[in-house]
Chain A
């Protein structure tokens, strides 16, 4: 199926069609003063006319004087929790009653418990690239993550071109945006990708197809008589302009040249001491990062001991217990934890997975309560390296 043009009514028809196919549609909604993922039934659930301002340690929404539905940058969280929930039961055993043998629920408990498959609407390019990275980390290694695999497989992804990057964004530096499909990882996985355009030809969405499933859904809309004309050259030009303008407005830059070597050589840099004096070791950066995958796995029992569950929860390299091995924490200081975070993300990740662990979404900058900016820390390390 070729690139098509949807009006807002057409987009609503797309959402309806996804619901009709049994998907729970999740997309950007305004919640508690920020853009977060929430249920989308009607387009009125989307943040029409809302924009965001982001800078280190600060996030604010503001009203816009246009009807655009996706005119903001990365929200509080990426799509990560939809596939890789913050808390998950891996397996569960119940003691048998009397002579009965114990029941074992090998999981994914939650997935098999009948969660509806999810369609994600409005995944921006950085987050799409992050899904590609997580697929590599969680699926393409010797032992894949069963729960993640199930959730990912069932998911329908409608990506969106990032038209309004924030001051904290640097996807261009990381080669992950602003157009969906860019990315260092495996082909960025979307079913449909749209670019929101508003000009003299009207408010519309230029929709590209990324999978058979996506083509099938669009074909269904066309067959039902939904206004979904083939894209004209003018539509493609308009979409390209959105991309070019967003690229020009990128708020930040990260010089990735020789970054791995720089970080590996900087293990004893005084820059780590300086950043550690500000770092709260709170873990927010890792919790909002769309690629961080570290977890803690523990067994819990109930009062009677009749129920045992193995639970997996998000952890963070900023947690002292995260590096606890017999006798104590390997990374006892905040200095060593910040160094771990940056070095893993931007250097060791390459050796481990053949790509950077950062997609340039800027969340760790915005949501750091201490306003620490990794691009500034890398620049400081470069300066330091230059001086040494």
Chain B
């Protein structure tokens, strides 16, 4: 079966690694960081302005892929809710010795509760593992987009990208 973002709607690990939106393995070890999963040259750049540290550059033309500067990114997470593609995630690989933190935008109701254990899914929405909801962020500035962060077993830090939607088909 052919795969890749044009066929399945999901970027493969190779496609992700080939983009300038993914930081190095060493950077993941250090602290929380943004993961930009935007692999096609589309006319879009709100992420660039969203970052108060200048860690994301799109430049000109506007169809350039967003480039992350792993040294400048503080992992603050401010860019997540500003991306209309919901394509930016915040990942802290070494949240604890055995777990990672993954934060993602979530624009559905009902929302989970902090502290709740929820089924977490991958880029295809399918169940991967259970995770604990760490935080639900909702501010006026985020304009209706909610951010949910979950704690999951460390081996899934590059796999978990959502919680399985309640009332969803799966």
- Asked if A pairs with B, the answer is no
Chain B interface residues toward A at CB < 8 A? none
Chain A interface residues toward B at CB < 8 A? none
